[in-house]
Structures are given as C-alpha cells and as structure tokens.
Amino acid sequence: MATDIQVQAQQIRRRVAPWVLVYRRKSEHLFFKLLMYLMLINIAFAFLLPIFYMTSTSLMTIQDYVDPAVYWIPTVFNWENFTLAYGGMNYTQAFKNSIIIALAATLGQVITCAMAGYGFARGEFPGRELLFGLVLFSFIVPPQTIIVPLFILYKNLNWIDTFWPFIIPAFFAQGLRGSILTIIYRQFFRGLPWELEDAARIDGAGPVRTFTHIMLPLAKPAIVVTFLFSLVWHWNDFYEPMMYLMKPERFTVPLRLQILYTSLNEMTGGQAGELYNEPLIMAACFLIVLPPLILYLFTQRHFVESVERTGLVG
C-alpha cells in the first residue's frame, strides 16, 4: 500500500513538475520581456524626441515658444516659419545643388566601389592584401590631414566653386568615405559562393560579364545599403562643401543652414538670436532632414532587410 501511495505521489509530482517549471519560467520571462520593452521604448524615445521637438517647435509662433504653458502642441500652427526658412535658405537653389552633388557622387561611388570591392574579394593578383591594406589606410587618414594639398590640387584644376571635387573622386572609388563602401562590397562578395563564378566561366562568360550579369544582381542588398549611406552622407556633408564652395549660389543645404543661423544670430545680437529664432531654425532643420527621412521611410524595409543580408562585417 505504502509503495502504491509513493508511486502515486511520484506520478502526480511528475505530472505537475513541468507546469511549475513552466510557470516559473513564464513569469521570469514576462519580467524580462517587460524590461526589454521598457529599454527599447526608452532608447526609441531618445531618438525620436529631437524629431518631435523639431516638428513641434517649427510650427510654433514666438509667443508659443516662449510661453511655458505651451509644451508640445502649438496654439496655432504657424506655417510661416517654413516659408521663411525656405526663403531664408534659398532652398530651391540649395536643394538643387545638394541633390546634384549627392546623386552624382553616389552613382559614382556605388559603381566604382562595387568594382573595387569585387576586385579585392575575388581577384587573384599579387599584392592584393597589400593594396587592400591601403584601402584600410585611406579609411583612417583624417580628411584634415590631406585637405590642404587637395585644396591646392582643386584650385590648380580650377575646380573650386564647381561640383567636380565631389563627383570626380567618387567615380574613382574615393570621395566621402569611399573606403568604407569598398570594404562593405568586399565583405559582401567574399561571402558569395565561388560556384557561381565557376559556372559562369564554364558557360563562357568573361570576367566583366560575370560581374555585371551574375555578381551585381546578387549584390542588391549591398547596393541598397551603400546607396543609402552614400546619398545620406553626401547630403549631410558639411566640411567639404565648405572647403570647396565659395559662391553662395553654389551652396548646399547644410551650408545654407549655417549661414541662416549666423545671420539670424547677428541680427538679434548673440544669445537672443537663439531664443527668438528657434522656431525658424527648427523649421530650417526640418527642411534639411525631410528629404533623407522620406527616402528612408520608403526604403526602410529594404534597408533593414539588406543590412541583415549584407553580412556587413563578414
């Protein structure tokens, strides 16, 4: 009898035990899950807050902005800030300049960096590692170090106040952070199986054809990532346009913002400028951020997926 009860108890315990475990694990799990959400929301908040702030402030009148009672939602939507910022930055012209530089340079970088990256990933030539070392080297050289000779070079070529200093280097896999793009492509192509090229070669495709017809279509994730990076970096770039563009009609959007800010600051006398022109400045900022933001909203899904498939760091 006693053994019978023991057996029964054991059976019950055996039946219940997993549930106890599951229950404990579940509550623990729930706790961690909540914690994770909390952290995620916190971080997301830190990233989104400036954008909210920018949007809400850009719609405020100065009265609203100074009024401590008005916190996030302005009493009246003051669209005038945008028209003022638009005119103040000479946005149509600046936008055109920015977009020409960004698109042309991006096109150049995407094509030539893909070629170079492929060469470094799959080429079989002596000195490959050494040359790739030079790619890494050019990544770590600060632009400040070579800016003076470059300026002299462009000056001698009569490229100052033209867009060539941005576009021509980009078509030689250089330009703004070109080395990073080359590295991304190299890592990507290294991850692709060799059999693809062997098959293409057996079918009689030359190296150029293999590259354009087999490898490039496969490299779509890498192309999406590098395209977006390059476009956004060129759009936001400030240092180089400031060096090479002197005439106001050649200025890019970020340069215009800087000028708008300083002139407003001077007009209102230093610190006051910051306070009274904040809505206007925020509207200007919004106009700068808007094009990349729209681009990102549309490409976001491809971008996030691509990042995962690029194996960016291989």
Instruction: Show contacts with another protein in window 206-235 (CB under 8 A).
Output: 207-208, 211, 228-229, 232, 235
Give the Cα separation of 57 and 61 in Å (integer).
Answer: 8
- Cα end-to-end distance, the chain, whole Å: 66
**Tokens 């700068």 sit on residue:** 288
Q: What is the dihedral of CA 215, 218, 220, 225, to 10 degrees?
A: -80
Q: How far is the CB of 217 from another protein (least distance, A)?
A: 17
Choose, by CB under 8 A, the member of 89, 219, 264, 282 that binds another protein. 282
Q: How far is CA 230 from CA 131, 242, 289, in A?
A: 23, 18, 15
Nearer to another protein, 5 or 208 (CB): 208
Residue whose pair of structure tokens reads 């106001």 in the numeric block: 248
Pick between residue 75 and residue 258 the one whose CB is nearest to another protein: 258
Copy the structure tokens of residue 4: 């019978």
- Asked whether position 138 contacts another protein by CB under 8 A, the answer is yes
Residue 307 touches another protein, criterion: CB under 8 A:
yes
Tell me if 288 sits within 8 A of 58, measured CB to CB. Answer: no
Kindly report the backbone phi and psi dihedral angles of residue 163, in degrees, each rounded to the nearest multiple of 5, phi listed first.
-95, 0
Residue 302's CB: how many other CB atoms inside 10 A? 14
Q: Which of 153, 196, 199, 267 forms a contact with another protein (CB under 8 A)?
A: 153
> Amino acid identity of 296?
Y
Pick between residue 7 and residue 275 the one whose CB is nearest to another protein. 275
- Which whole-number Å values give the CA distances from 263 to 204, 242, 266, in the listed order? 64, 17, 5
Tell me whether residue 8 or residue 67 sits nearer to another protein (CB atom). Answer: 67
Q: Closer to another protein by CB, 103 or 131: give it.
A: 131
Quick one: 81 or 182, whose CB is closer to another protein?
182
Q: Is 263 in the site for another protein (CB under 8 A)?
A: no
Q: In the complex, what is the shortest distance from the CB of residue 123 to another protein, in angstroms, rounded to a whole number? A: 2
CA distances from 300 to 41, 137, 221, 258, 307 (A): 19, 32, 12, 29, 10
Query: Per rule CB under 8 A, is residue 152 in the interface with another protein?
Result: yes
Interface with another protein in residues 15-44 (CB under 8 A): 33, 36-37, 39-40, 43-44
Site string for another protein, 52-81 (x = CB under 8 A): -xx---------------------------
Which range binds another protein by CB under 8 A, 10-18, 19-27, 90-98, 237-245? 237-245
**Among the listed residues 82, 91, 120, 159, the single contact to another protein using CB under 8 A:** 120
